[in-house]
Amino acid sequence: MRILLIGPPGAGKGTQAVRLAAHLSIQHISTGELFREHIAQGTELGQNAHTYIRSGLLVPDEVTIGVIRERLARPDTERGFLLDGFPRNLDQAQALDGILADAESRLDAVLDLEIPEAEVVRRIAGRRLCRQDREHIFHVDYTPPEVTGVCDVCGGELYQRDDDREATVRRRLEVYRSETAPVVDHYQAMGLVSTISALGQVQEVMDRALVAIGQGQVDASGASSC
């Protein structure tokens, strides 16, 4: 299967992408991981991407598309793949269509993770990281520390990243609505989009996604099982 997973920040795309790809035994393709791979290998694509990333700039479409084109040409994608983080805009979506058409292929499904804006803000703005070890992550509502502002693991100070502040999150959502949401409309016109609620437990969201692509079942009560 060839799947595109799309949704706003805070919808849980990364978590779902890893789990779905593993469950379906297909390649999980993340643009972030691809950039890091090319940079580590010192490829021309990696050098181009690194020039922008180290300056805090978005990688231009032509570089991102080049990285994706190279990845989709590898033999391990013949069984299928799940795209995570690409395409981010309509130009990238049209480029993807062209890449797949050249390979006499096409997407099988587009899974659109839907989540209320208020929940996105709550999920992201509530995160707190430990200054001593950023892998120690808490949430003021879901996984609060025993002592406010103090890491349960090492006693370090907990802080909120600038990127996680409410005003920043709302700006990211505005960018998503203006640039990425049209990608959903593009594939909706092709009849490829299934909208999945991103609310609930991780497994519940995954079950909904599997049902949408015909890999799960819905029992008599309406609940999904996989």
Which one of 88, 123, 128, 208 is the catalytic residue? 88
Q: Is 88 a catalytic residue?
A: yes
DSSP letter assigned to residue 76: G
Which one, of 151, 16, 22, 131, lies nearest residue 84 by Cα?
A: 16
Which one of 36, 69, 170, 172 is the catalytic residue? 172
Cα 49 → chain centroid: 19
Q: Is 127 a catalytic residue?
A: yes
Which one, of 183, 160, 169, 152, lies nearest residue 117 by Cα?
A: 169
Q: Is 165 a catalytic residue?
A: no
Q: Is 161 a catalytic residue?
A: yes
Which one of 13, 71, 128, 208 is the catalytic residue? 13
78: exposed, middle or buried (Cβ count in 10 Å: 0-12, 13-18, 19+) = exposed
Q: Is 134 a catalytic residue?
A: no
Which one of 161, 165, 171, 177 is the catalytic residue? 161
Cα 126 → chain centroid: 19
Catalytic residues: 13, 88, 127, 161, 172
